[in-house]
Amino acid sequence: MSISRLMSALAVISLVLATGASAQRRSVVLESLDLDQLVKIQTVNHGIHVGRLTGLTGDYLFLRPKTGSKAVEVAAVDELWVRGTATRKGAVIGGVTGAILGALTSVFMSYAVCDLASCSVDAGVTGIGLLVGGAFGSVTGAVFGAMFGQWHRAYP
């Protein structure tokens, strides 16, 4: 058997295995969806469908868009998003921002309360400012993030 035939056979085998694994992953994701959950689906022909999930069979997803209803073939699903909140994103952004502001505030306060001849920044005070600011910012960011919707990719 020539090298090119061997490479072609390996390519076909890997494509078949990847397609099977992708279909299996897709079915696991689809089974985890809840009825009435807001979903956005992109199909292989690049059509995008948004609506609430009203049903799921082995071959079709049934959606309720703003008007009417829509059946999307499961085999045609290329990407799938579910609507959730931005809690994690808000917590990360708030935590980083709060930590920076907390550290800067502690440095500023260290200089503000000392006499000019012996001013120095205490690393312990800066660390406390960093931790307190980060914690407060994370909680505040998570609360604000929970108020906003965000699409989360579920498949692939």
What is the structure's pLDDT at 3?
A: 61
Confidence of residue 123 (pLDDT cuts 50, 70, 90): confident
**pLDDT tens string 70-119:** 888 888 888 888 888 899 999 999 999 999 999 999 888 887 777 766 67
Whether residue 154 is predicted with pLDDT greater than 80 in this model: the reply is: yes
Written as six digits, the tokens of 127 are: 């660390």
Q: Three-state SS for 16?
A: helix
| Beta-ladder partners of 42 | 48, 79
Exposed, middle or buried, 93 (CB in 10 Å: 0-12/13-18/19+)? Answer: middle
What is the structure's pLDDT at 87?
A: 93
Whether residue 44 is predicted with pLDDT greater than 90 in this model: the reply is: no
Q: Domains in the chain, start-ordered, CATH in brackets? A: 3-84 (2.30.30.100), 87-150 (no CATH)
Count CA within 13 A, CB hemisphere, residue 18.
7
76 touches 126 (CB < 8 A): no
**pLDDT tens string 6-33:** 455 444 444 444 444 556 666 677 777 7
What is the structure's pLDDT at 16?
A: 44
**Mean of the per-residue pLDDT values for the chain?**
80
Q: Three-state SS for 110?
A: helix
3-class secondary structure per residue, 116-156: HHHCCCCHHHHHHHHHHHHHHHHHHHHHHHHCCEEEEEEEC
